[in-house]
Structure 1
Amino acid sequence: MATSTAAPRHSCAKLSVAVEDPEAGGVGAVFVKATWHPTRFSLAVTDGAAAWVAQASDAEVRLRAEQWDQPVADYLALAERYLAFQQPSSTYSFHDAANGNRRYLTTGDLISISSFGLSLGSNFWLSWTFEKQGTKLEWRWKLQPAPNTQQTIAEILDFLMDANIRLSEEVVRKTQSFDKLKQESEKCLQQSERFSIEKADFEQSTFSKFVAVLNSKKAKLRQLKDKLTELESADKAPKEEDENSTDKTELFEEESDKDASVNDEPSETGGGDLHSSPEKTAATSRGGRGHKRTRK
């Protein structure tokens, strides 16, 4: 089987566990440091006085996953969920596994171990509960006393200190970033207010100019309309005079034609003489033209 080269993940959680010490109110605390690999994991647990470790091999994890009808990845993800962070809905316990009897770790045991430099010789169970499809289930792993208690505790403390330093640095960076964003937001707010004022001024100025131009155009249109009215009135008067003059001219021509027709008619006395001499006709024509000139 090919071994995965993915980098391991580390976690450390402070878990509240049930104890039998009345002075502790039935609740104690342990620190659980875990290293998560793609197909296995390891645990290191301490209460500050003693330490225990567990190495869950690939075969053990695969066997547990098969027992719970789960893929290995899902089994590890669920275990990490409950051991990397304490889940409020879960009940954690850390008890003695000697002789198959459940004996909760008491504060007196821890004090005696710490006072005499002894290590607890028995194994312990670390267990936690969860619900699945309405059924409350329990998972647990057996831990053995650490070969080097002080080293194990020191490793857990080093991890916690490093994590605390990283968190502190991250808090500082986040605070600085927040302050910078706050300053930028204040600048943006000031710019927005300034832009709003400038926009209002620009709109007012533009509207005033528009109104002025509109009024000027209206005034010019009124002037052009007045000039057009004057020109129409001025053109109308000569046209009426021309019409009157034309009427008079036509009347005069009609009268002239009427007089000419009267002069051209034969007289009653000479009506029988239809064939006049050329001399007489010419004299009559000259007399007619002379008569017209006299009237003019």
Structure 2
Amino acid sequence: MVDDCRHTCLRLDIVDDDPESKDIIFVKGSWFPSHFDLYITNGLHAWSCHGSEEEVKKRARLWDQSIALYIETAESYLGFQQSGSVYRFEDIGDRQRRFSFTFEKQGVTLQWRWKCQPSCNEKQLTFTVLDFLMESNIRLSDEVIRKTQSIEKLKIEAEKCLDQSERFRNEKVEFEQVAFSKFVSLLNSKKAKLRELRDKIAKLETSGKHTEDENSSL
């Protein structure tokens, strides 16, 4: 099924035994549940490798791996160039190449390698690989732009929320100050009335005492 196929495209710097010699290749991978296809170009020439289900199953068994894990390992190393891995693309005669990379398994260094056949239509294969790479870059650029725009929108919304929060905080402080001021004013008014009532009571008590004294003197 087409939905089960995943694609990768990797630019690789291939260094031979001679440090001064370096080749740049592009590797496009199509990964299926039980087999894969590789298309490789250096811009001038192109090669292909078709890992059949039978061959993948046999090699996975040699490494005591499931087919899914074998495919997953290859896809991960050909999706991104791993710094600890040694990639090679060696000439083995008759225009054929051997593509390989190393990886670690339980402390042992293993080499994943497959033979690549020269393409019968190098220009078309090279165009296909580079076109896929260009489309991937365009999609990635579009995604970056969308995410950047989303981040900018989030920043604007965050600033609005901060402004609103600051306004609410100021309004709350202002409300509390007004409410406290009214409460203090009301409290002072109550205190004044209480003092007034206390003074009246004191006067009444004094007046009543004088009346009693006058009555007792008669």
TM score, norm. by length of structure 2 = 0.87
Q: For the Cα contact (< 8 Å) 1:6–1:38, is it kept in 2? A: no
The structure 1 residue matched to 2:88, chosen from 84, 87, 93, is 93
SS of residue in 1 equivalent to 2:34: coil
SS of residue in 2 equivalent to 1:49: coil
Q: 1:235 to 1:60 in 2, by over 3 A?
A: farther
The structure 1 residue matched to 2:131, chosen from 158, 165, 168, is 158
2: CA distance between counterparts of 1:133 and 1:20?
27
1: CA distance between counterparts of 2:208 and 2:34?
109
- The alpha-carbon deviation at position 81 of structure 1 amounts to 0.8
The structure 2 residue matched to 1:146, chosen from 119, 130, 136, is 119
Match runs of 1:171-210 below 5 Å: 171-210=144-183
- Residue type of the alignment partner of 1:220: K
Structure 2 stretches lacking a partner, 5+ long? none
Structure 1 stretches lacking a partner, 5+ long? 99-120, 249-296
- The alpha-carbon deviation at position 6 of structure 1 amounts to 4.2
Tell me if 1:220 matches 2:193. yes
SS of residue in 2 equivalent to 1:86: coil
Tell me if 1:26 matches 2:28. no
Tell me if 1:13 matches 2:10. yes
1: CA distance between counterparts of 2:57 and 2:203?
109
RMSD: 2.4
2: CA distance between counterparts of 1:240 and 1:126?
127
Look up the match of 1:114.
none
- Residue type of the alignment partner of 2:158: S
Q: For the Cα contact (< 8 Å) 1:45–1:52, is it kept in 2? A: yes
2: CA distance between counterparts of 1:239 and 1:78?
113
Look up the match of 1:268.
none
- The alpha-carbon deviation at position 47 of structure 1 amounts to 0.7
TM score, norm. by length of structure 1 = 0.66
Tell me if 1:37 matches 2:32. yes
Match runs of 1:33-182 below 5 Å: 33-98=28-93, 121-182=94-155
1: CA distance between counterparts of 2:109 and 2:17?
23
Q: For the Cα contact (< 8 Å) 1:6–1:37, is it kept in 2? A: no
Identify, as 1 or 2, the structure richer in strand: 2
- Residue type of the alignment partner of 2:101: W
Greater relative CO, 1 or 2 (CA 8 Å, sep 6+):
2
- Residue type of the alignment partner of 1:13: L
- The alpha-carbon deviation at position 49 of structure 1 amounts to 0.8
Q: Share of identical aligned residues, percent?
A: 51
- Residue type of the alignment partner of 1:97: I
1: CA distance between counterparts of 2:2 and 2:40?
26
Q: For the Cα contact (< 8 Å) 1:95–1:124, is it kept in 2? A: yes
Q: 1:228 to 1:63 in 2, by over 3 A?
A: farther
Q: For the Cα contact (< 8 Å) 1:13–1:32, is it kept in 2? A: yes
Which structure: larger Rg? 1
